[in-house]
Amino acid sequence: MLPSSANLVAFALVSFGMVLTPGPNMLYLISRSLSQGRVAGLISLGGVGLGFVFYMLCAAFGITALLFAVPYAYDALRFGGAAYLLWLAWQAVKPGGRSPFEIQALPQDSPRKLFAMGFVTNLLNPKIAMLYLALLPQFLSAPEGARDVLTQSLVLGFTQIAISVSVNALIAITAGTIAGFLIGRPLWLLVQRWLMGTVLAGLAIKMATEARR
């Protein structure tokens, strides 16, 4: 059983919003692109993409086992995801927030090291772990068995990977141009932070108050 169209679209929008929220992956990719060029940023993105696949497979099989083995696991994941979204919202709007395009230069590294560092950066990224473990289960369409959960988790996971890799590739390629545009335009950065914080807080409230599907 595949996820419903509504759930697929909703998860795609959440994934899009999450990838636009500054985090370890975005900071690393922008740093690489600004300090070592677009190619280095894209090589690093290859490692980040592999990290997505690793997380997605672990989460898909883990969620399948967890939801059918542990009572109240769904609610625990739901409230955990809501709490994490609220934390991200605060990070977006708190005083002293910093643009991800204001990055210090990094040393020149080989393609192999760039790929490996991108992979490790994603594995150590708590935002991605919570995305798969706490947010993804909210978009499963009334599964009737373990096979349904696994199938839907894989479809949603690959959707998130496609969106994240595409957006991050665009960011890596245009990092220099965006950084130049934002210099001297603090109002743009402030609006972006508050808009993203509001969206994340709204998602958190919706997740915490909705009943189980």
Higher pLDDT, 206 or 33: 33
Exposed / middle / buried, residue 208 (Cβ in 10 Å: 0-12, 13-18, 19+): middle
Domain interval for residue 124: 5-209
The answer to whether 174 and 36 are in contact (CB under 8 A) is: no
pLDDT tens, residue by residue, 54-70:
888 888 887 656 655 66
Q: How many CB atoms lie within 10 A of CB 111?
A: 12
What would the pLDDT profile of 196-205 be if each residue is shown by its tens digit?
677 767 767 7
Query: How much is the CA Rg of the chain, to the nearest whole Å?
Result: 18
pLDDT for 7:
85
* Predicted confidence band of residue 81 (pLDDT cuts 50, 70, 90): low
**Mean pLDDT for the stretch of residues 116-135:** 80
Residue 36's closest CA among 94, 99, 114? Answer: 114
Looking at the structure of the chain, the number of domains it has is: 1
In the chain, count H helices and then E strands: 8, 0
